[in-house]
Amino acid sequence: MDVDRFGNTHAPGLSYARGKIIRSTEDDFQKLQRAWALIRERGQGQIYVFTGLEHSLPLAAEELAYTDDEIAPAQCFERLKARALEHLGGSPETDDVAVFNRLTGATIATHLTLVKPGDVVIGVSASHSHRSSELPVMSARGLSIPPGLRHFATPSRWSARSHSLS
């Protein structure tokens, strides 16, 4: 398993180590929910995001404020979740909702259609893959070769990892 520059072991399936504060995906989501609450409290005009993420969806000027990864969920997630669960017959106590963009949705649908349990999926990139390309393999119960070209240079490091979302 890889380590970061401080010697911390990377979390399984991630290209970085978890910390003492954000220990899991659940902690990440709680962090987002807290951020969304602050956005609602302070107003989207008082929030500045320095992620460097580019958005290339042509919108009207008044719609641009909703193109940030955090603004739209802060304003709409709870209402979207309630309406989706109502429409689908779910319960907020036992069910949840996930919203995907076209690329992530297509990646998940493709993997769930083509990857059978135990199939090996190899991710190739210069450094690491985004979680949205690894989670579908996990959902299909496939085996994932850790991404990054460095793994192809050292065959002894090739090790299929089995993941399960259940």
In sequence order, what E strands does the chain have?
120-122, 143-145, 161-162
pLDDT-derived band at 53, boundaries 50, 70, 90? low
**Alpha helices, H only, 22-70:** 25-42
Q: Where are the domains of the chain?
A: 1-99, 101-166
Res. 155: pLDDT tops 70: no
Res. 150: pLDDT tops 70: no
pLDDT in tens, 111-134: 989 999 988 887 776 666 677 777
pLDDT-derived band at 144, boundaries 50, 70, 90? confident
CA distances from 87 to 48, 81, 100, 116 (A): 34, 10, 18, 31
pLDDT in tens, 79-98: 999 999 999 999 999 999 98
